[in-house]
Amino acid sequence: MPDNSQHFVIVGAGAAGLMAARELARAGRRVTILEARERCGGRICPLPASEFGYAADGGAEFVHGEAPVTRRLAREAGLSVRTIGGAQWSFDGTTFSRENPREPYDERLHAAVKGLTEDLTVAEFLRRHFAGPEHARLRHAVERMVEGYDAADPARASTLALRDEWMNDGHAIQARLDGGYGGLIEFLAAECRKSGVGIHLGALVTAIEEVDGRVGVRCADGEVHGCDRVILTVPLPLLRKIALPAAAREKAAAADDIGFGNVIKILLRFTRPWWHEREGLADMLFLLSDETIPVWWTRLPDQHPVLTGWFGGPGTAELSHLDPQGLIDAGVDSLAAIFSLPRGEIARGVVAASATNWAHDQFARGAYSWATPRTRAAQERLARADGPVLFSGEALYRGRDMGTVEAALASGLETAGIILQRWRG
Ligand SMILES: Cc1cc2nc3c(=O)[nH]c(=O)nc-3n(C[C@H](O)[C@H](O)[C@H](O)COP(=O)(O)OP(=O)(O)OC[C@H]3O[C@@H](n4cnc5c(N)ncnc54)[C@H](O)[C@@H]3O)c2cc1C
């Protein structure tokens, strides 16, 4: 018989928290979720379909790689996952070119990473293996991927952790959920409620206290929720904002060895897909440039006239003075420069827009985690269930695609599994 008297408080109603809650509640445990926002989903952040013409995503959007947990959950929820296709283009400041999926330098890069016996930072790796001017293009491409895609800092990012991405074309199988990631969150939240989970929105946790083997989870409004164990799923920068008992605080210090990157994401809906008029660009899925907002993508295979701008990595700090309207303006300027069009012409075509610098989001303080050479050891330590305060969330995922929804769901599942094993009741 499961032990119904065991009460778990989960801090955070993102993908990890909801997944852990559902598993624990279905196994008969009492579960309460405390969520600071007035909505579930965290870094999954649906935007109004009435504005964008479809359920757009201001946060997570793509399903990366095989993502078995995500796909299984989507099937359960009756949501389809659609593989996306289209060409990748780049703009070098003067001309557009269709990117070759296999770059000429791939073989040199593969040979060098294959030969690695110990981990080192990406910056050090490039210094040791590709220092000369003849490797400038390779260095630029690697740095652009590490910063732009992984939102990571090459000076700290682990080369071994990124090896699979380079070797196996890790970004190859990309897909989107029909109806966006919001549908998955709605499904999980409904499942939780059905199993008796109490979801408290607007509940900002400020401290966790331990008294005589019981745990008290204190919220900003002064309310204290008593429980047996607490699972913290907040993004890494927010961990430091919660007062923890001494042992948990010591353990949480391991999070300093896990990188956490930032992203600026901009969505612009236009009256029409004007970029189709440029010869050859009708099949454009991704467009890479060196403009202020450097990466853009379309909704292919959907035909919605929406361009999404993306800027990731440490460089985003240079735009930290801009508010959402300033970011939208920067996006329009970048498109004007790339397509050699008057900015007014592009701006007049915008019918809906959204921009988020995720470092400014008070309950995320950035976008997602990435690995340093010390991250795997830190994750092992954080994932250990050796006290009343447990840690979960995308940053604890030890598989290949850290920093994803898959990572969050898998981590939540893992935490619930450990609890159900360890404390059978
Ligand atoms: C712009 C952007 C684009 C992304 N794109 C993709 C993508 O295309 N594909 C993909 O797979 N992943 C993507 N990701 C990453 C993905 O969104 C995250 O890895 C995943 O959603 C994290 O889930 P989580 O449950 O670990 O954390 P979160 O979703 O952050 O959940 C944690 C919850 O804790 C809450 N919280 C914080 N502090 C407190 C507190 N003190 N008290 C109570 N609650 C608190 C937060 O409000 C939040 O709801 C993207 C992320 C961003 C920001």
Q: Of all protein residues, whose CA lies closest to atom 10 belonging to ligand 1?
A: 404
Secondary structure letter of residue 30 according to DSSP: E
Whether 7-44+181-256+370-422 and 49-85+173-178+260-360 share one fold: the answer is no
Which ranges constitute the DSSP H helices of 118-158?
122-129, 136-148
β-bridge pairing 87-91 and 284-288: parallel
Report how far ligand 1's centroid is from the alpha carbon of 323 (Å).
21
- Mutation pick for ligand 1 pocket among 224, 267, 368 (CB with most ligand atoms within 8 Å): 368
Report how far ligand 1's centroid is from the alpha carbon of 11 (Å).
12
CA distances, 261 to each of 157, 239, 318, 406, 412 (Å): 11, 15, 14, 17, 21
| Sequence ranges of the domains in the chain | 7-44+181-256+370-422, 49-85+173-178+260-360, 105-167
Q: Which CATH architecture has domain 7-44+181-256+370-422?
A: 3-Layer(bba) Sandwich (3.50)
By the 10 Å C-beta count (0-12 exposed, 13-18 middle, 19+ buried), 97 is classed as exposed
Ligand 1 atom closest to Cα of residue 310: 1
Report how far ligand 1's centroid is from the alpha carbon of 8 (Å).
21
Using alpha carbons only, what angle is made at residue 126 by residues 125 and 132, rounded to the nearest 5 degrees?
140
Question: pTM for the whole thing?
Answer: 0.96
- The backbone region for 365, taken as left when phi is positive above 0, alpha when psi lies in -120 to 50, beta otherwise, is left
The CATH T-level fold of domain 49-85+173-178+260-360 is Polyamine Oxidase; Chain A, domain 2 (3.90.660)
Ligand 1 atom closest to Cα of residue 356: 1
**Residue located via tokens 């995720």:** 358
Report how far ligand 1's centroid is from the alpha carbon of 42 (Å).
4
Please work out whether the CB of residue 37 comes within 6 Å of at least one atom of ligand 1: yes
* pLDDT tens digits in sequence order for the chain, 425 residues long: 455 678 999 999 999 999 999 999 999 999 999 999 999 999 999 999 999 999 999 999 999 989 999 999 999 999 999 999 899 999 999 999 998 766 667 788 888 998 898 999 999 999 999 999 999 988 998 998 899 889 999 999 999 988 877 776 555 568 999 999 999 999 999 999 999 999 999 999 999 999 888 899 999 999 999 999 999 999 999 999 999 999 999 999 999 999 999 999 999 999 999 999 888 898 999 999 999 999 999 999 988 999 999 999 999 999 999 999 999 999 999 999 999 999 999 999 999 999 999 999 999 999 999 999 999 999 999 999 889 999 999 999 998 888 999 999 999 999 999 999 987 75
Cα distance from N-terminal residue to C-terminal residue, the chain: 7
Please work out whether the CB of residue 182 comes within 6 Å of at least one atom of ligand 1: no
Q: Are 9 and 231 in contact (CB under 8 A)?
A: yes
Please work out whether the CB of residue 242 comes within 6 Å of at least one atom of ligand 1: yes
324 upstream amide cis, omega within 30 of 0:
no
